[in-house]
Amino acid sequence: MKNLFIMIFVCMANSVMAQTEIESMVTGLAKLRLGAESTLSSIPYRTKEHQAIKDYFVGLRDFITAIEENSRTNKRLNSYLGIESMKKFCSDIFISQNDWDQIKVNCTRNRYFLCTEDVNEYPASKQALSELFYPNILQVFKKTPECQ
């Protein structure tokens, strides 16, 4: 009986730690997204704005890479999304299509793209993330406007 209690406690603790890990990753990415969105009114972009944009898009790429490379993290993300609202998740980690378009315009001067190339890879990054979802999570992702 004692061993059964210990096993249940360990499983519960592991599940809480897994959710905390994903929440931490999402919270960090949400902060980077806010930093990138804050640059929209700062034209032309200076070093600070370029760094905020780079931090967000590289952070998104790193988030996806961390999930791709670790099946345990992938399982944790899919479990987290089973609990968490997809609308909130996408609102936290993705910028809107309009904001992305504006960033691309503001990064272009005289036919030269001055921002990190990760800006142009944004649709591919969203696609790569969606490919990591379980089928039931993917259906919700595709139907959620904040994720498109």
Domain that holds residue 75: 2-147
For residue 41, the model assigns a pLDDT of 85
pTM of this prediction exceeds 0.85: no
**Percent of the chain residues past pLDDT 90, beyond the cut:** 59
pLDDT tens readout for residues 86-123: 899 999 999 999 999 999 998 888 888 888 899 999 99
For residue 36, the model assigns a pLDDT of 93
Residue 88's alpha-carbon distances to 27, 28, 44, 83, 107, in angstroms, are 11, 14, 31, 11, 28
Higher pLDDT, 112 or 17: 112
What gap in Å lies between CA 90 and CA 4, rounded to an integer?
38
Number of domains into which the chain is organized = 1
